[in-house]
Structures are given as structure tokens and as C-alpha cells.
Amino acid sequence: MANPAAASVPMVTLSQIQSALVRVRKSIYISPCTRSETFSELTGNSIYLKLENRQRTGAYKERGALNKLLSLTAEERSQGVIAASAGNHAQAVAYHASNLGIRARIVMPLATPLIKVSATRGYGGDVVLHGANYDEAYEEALRLSAQEGLTFVHAFDDDAVIAGQGTLGLELLEQHPDLEVVIVPIGGGGLIGGIGCALKQTNPRIQVIGVQPARLPSVKVALSQGKPVTLPSAVTIADGIAVRRVGVRTLPLIQKYVDDIVTVEEEEIANAVLLLLEREKILAEGAGAAALAALVNRRIPMIHDSRAQESRTPEKAGKKVVAIVSGGNIDVTLLARIIERGLVKDGRLVRLRVHLPDYPGALHRLTGILAEHRANIVETSYDRAYHNVNLGDTAIDITMETRGPDHIAELISALGANGYTHERIL
């Protein structure tokens, strides 16, 4: 991915990241990086999860925000700082600025969920709601920065922020010196740029892989065109990495240090959130689960090469891989929808529409058949006017908990054998 143009932009160095680690270490939680037996068995590799969702504000963003704040002059501290964010960066800046006695103003879009606004205020931030989207909030933050003499703390395109995020890479080397592959979610590129520099400058053999949502592959597009490109807005459940344009300072780092970038679909991200919650008891937001989504959906050729799989032995199962779980700040209503969608995808929740005669006892007979096959009914809905229902008949939508696809097939077969007209609703 090397690009000659990258040399024209001074880049963050390993020594800057090492200095950042000394600076922030006493105030940043050393998050665990634990082996996952479940995902190791599933992928045929030795998988470790770096749990940045355990940070005080729920995401890795604290590293870069704190390093930037600690790098300010006495005059800059006295004037205060400002940032634009709708999520993790806002909370990180507010929390650490408050701890350092620095006034922090955070500009958030008008549509920011109340829970995120409340959390940012709770950490001590002076929240300003402005604009219909992040871009408008960002422009307002720049205007206020110039007007009031506040230092702007960029979410990713700032050397001090990048160096702070890079401390995660040095931490990984301390925890697992023999790691071979690191998989990192990418938004604006600050995290992967810092990690890539820290790892590659220490051990060039370590492979660094980036993951983006397929709906907003801003870095892949930038790499193909050799410059930052602004993509159209798109909605993704990985809102923490929903960045339309990669940073000017982060792109050269990605070009120099990142080995490959892959994309994942929305359903794959949602399923990864559910897998982490159910199998590992780890709560991750969409962006935080992106790395695992790439793993379990076999998006990374260097890990999932079929010939390598054949040569593995129980003593050495594949590569030693670290997936970064970058954050856990997920809205509970979104989490509920993800869980429900995941159960449907796994065949543990199904909805069938069954046509039956509309007379006393008809429903009792139907539910008896379902009970005989051990399906648990969680919701029903009648309809006599739609769905091509014959006069004197009714259609009933039945949502049931099941054991999986085989159980669903068993239920459908039993309904057919008993003369019921039915269809599966997806």
C-alpha cells in the first residue's frame, strides 16, 4: 500500500507513541486481552480479544483525547478546549478534561440520542447541540474554536490524538509479544494509524488488518484514489466508524503500515454483536464488533487460507490473532433489535402465518400441534380481512422460540401434515 506521496506529510513516529504511553499510562485502564476459546475453535486460529469497551467511558477514545489534553500549554489549558462528536470522542474529551480542570465544550448534532448527551454532560462537558449531522456540528465547533480561542481536539486527524491511540499497540506488545495479526476497526484512521505505527516499527512481521462497514468504505476508496475522498452519507449500526472521509494525517500512516482493509455487511456486524454478548458475555457496539465480524465471516485471506487450515495441528492452531473490541457504548433499543434479528438469523425465532377455520376450538387444535413439537409461542396476531383469507377463515401470525433451523423444518412439516396452509414470514 505504500505511496510515495505519503512521504511529503510528516507522520507520527514510534517515539511519539512511546512518549504518549508514558504520559497517559497512570490515567488509562490497561484493558485485558484474553483468549477466546469459542472464536479460536470457530476460526481455526488462536483468537484474543482486546477489550477497550472496559475503559471508563466505554471506548479506546480516551487514549488519544487524554494525550492531546496533556500536550496542551498552560495557556491553552486555561482557555479551554472544544470538540465535535456524537459519541465516544465527546465523552472521552469531557471526562479527561474535567479531571484535569480544563473547560470542555462539546458540539453534538441535534439528533444525538439523549443518553449520549446526558453521558457527555455527566462527565463534565458543556454540550452545545447544533446542526442536522456531524459535518454541521464540526463546522460549528471550528467556528467557536476561532471565536473563543478554544483548542480544537479532533477525533482522529491530529498527531497527539493518533499517538495516544497508538499506545494500544504498545500495550498489545507487552501483553502478547508473539502476536501475528491485529484486526482493527477503521473510522477516520486514528486508531489503526497509531496501532500500525507502533506495531510495524517494533516488529514489521506483524500483520495489521483494517475493517470498515461496507456502507462507508471511506479508507478503501481513498487508497484506490490516492487521496481522501468524501463519501455520501450512509446509515450503519457501526456508527462509531461511520466516517465519510479519512483524515489527511491518518491516510499516509494507513498507506505505510496497514497490510489490508476488508469490509463487512450490516447483518454480519449485528451477528458479531450478538455472538460477543452470548458466547463471551461482552457488550460491544457495532464498531466494536466489526473486527470480529470480519473474522467469523472469513473476510481475511491470510488467516483463512484453506491450505494453511489443512496443515494445522492441535499443538499450533493457525495464527495468533488479536481483534480489537474498540467500544461498548450501544443504545439499548438498538441492542434489543440486534438480539431479535440475530435470533431470527440463527433460526431460534420464527414467525409463521397459518390459515385456519374461524370457529371455536380451531386455535386450540393448532397450538396443541405446536406444543407437541415443543415450540414456545411468544406473540400472535389475527387477521380476517387481508392475506387472501377465505370468508369464514382467519390468518394468524405466530412468533415462536425454536431450537434452530431443524426445529423450524419439523414444525412446518407437522403443520403441512395436519392440513394447514402456512407460510414463513421473513
Would the CA dihedral through 401, 403, 405, 408 be positive or negative?
A: negative
Q: Which residues pair with 349 in a beta bridge?
A: 401
Q: Is 10 exposed, middle or buried (0-12, 13-18, 19+ CB in 10 A)?
A: exposed
Are 167 and 74 in contact, with CB atoms under 8 Å apart?
Answer: no
Of the candidates 46, 145, 218, 326, the residue annotated as catalytic is: 326
Q: Is 61 marked active-site?
A: yes
Are 164 and 27 in contact, with CB atoms under 8 Å apart?
Answer: no
Q: Is 241 exposed, middle or buried (0-12, 13-18, 19+ CB in 10 A)?
A: buried
First to last CA, the chain: 42
Between the alpha carbon of residue 324 and those of residues 30, 109, 168, 251, 400, the distances in Å are 13, 27, 10, 20, 35
Compute the distance between CA of residue 152 and CA of residue 137 in angstroms, rounded to an integer: 13
Residue from 186, 152, 327 nearest 258 by CA: 186
Q: Is 8 marked active-site?
A: no
Residue from 107, 110, 131 nearest 120 by CA: 107
Are 273 and 290 in contact, with CB atoms under 8 Å apart?
Answer: no
Q: Which residues pair with 35 in a beta bridge?
A: 48
Of the candidates 31, 46, 50, 61, the residue annotated as catalytic is: 61
Are 28 and 167 in contact, with CB atoms under 8 Å apart?
Answer: yes
DSSP letter for each residue of 238-283:
-GGG--SS--TTHHHHHHHH--EEEEE-HHHHHHHHHHHHHHH---
Residue from 81, 68, 78, 74 nearest 145 by CA: 81
Compute the distance between CA of residue 62 and CA of residue 91 in angstroms, rounded to an integer: 8
Catalytic residues: 61, 326
